[in-house]
Amino acid sequence: MHSTNHHNGLKTLFLIGALWALLIGIGYLIAENTGNPIWIIGFGLLGVGQTAYSYWNSDKLAVSSMNAYPVSEHEQPVMYKVVRELSQKAGQPMPDLFVAPTMSPNAFATGRNPRHAAVCCTEGILHLLNERELRGVLGHELSHVYNRDILTGSVAAGIAGLVGSISSMMLYMGAGRSEDRRNGNPIALLLIALLAPFAATFVRFAVSRTREFDADHDGALLTEDPLALASALSKLSGGVAARPLPEHPKVEPLSAMMIANPFGGLSRNMFATHPPMEERIKRLEEMAGY
């Protein structure tokens, strides 16, 4: 088995930097139109606050949005056994385990660090996969925790959400009403109000796609069985398409954290939350020497 460096760490830093630049850029344009530089500082502080709240409460928010319930070792012995073995192998604490009451097959991990982490499987994925494939999926999810992807995702989602809210506020208040200001640029302000939410969403989902490749790679190294995850992804591709989750506002922020697009949509457009399954499977097969 061999690994490949896809430079995803540098790519993620660049994308997060682009989100922050977009947020500060909005603040700059509003400051230019209002003549008050406090907007730049204010938006920066709001971004930090939104990120901190999302990050600190990520486990509770994610689990509750799926109505997931905690499970004991007696209730889910295989899930417990696999997670315990992989946690011990990685030298990390055992996360809390949850099951979401839906037959749509999926899984996600959340929590601000390995000591405050949770792994959740849906009832559907527990029925769909065999133990070897489930091990591949759980290795992937634990890798998200160990790579601190919850922080990365919280930053991306928090800033993207804030950009969307600010843009809506700008449009509602009438971004172009500062035409009488000599130094203002109301046209640029209106354009950024219209386009910024799309740019922020694109960058947020690009971050998600990048982290999925890393979790596939690191999870396969943890389990020492990349073909198990490849087999699981192949089953999930059809399983989610057959039983997608309903597109609900409560679930949408969680979709990028799941191992497969929960809504069963295609992943070949710039707003996709996940890389194409065939590309993920191909990379895993290359790791196994195929």
Could you give the residue numbers annotated as active site?
A: 141
Please tell me the distance from the alpha carbon of residue 243 to that of residue 185, in angstroms, as a whole number. 48
* Cβ-contact 229, 219 below 8 angstroms: yes
Picking from 251, 163, 170, 173, the residue whose alpha carbon sits closest to that of residue 203 is 163
Torsion-angle region of residue 100: left (phi > 0), alpha (psi -120 to 50) or beta? beta
* Cβ-contact 157, 253 below 8 angstroms: yes
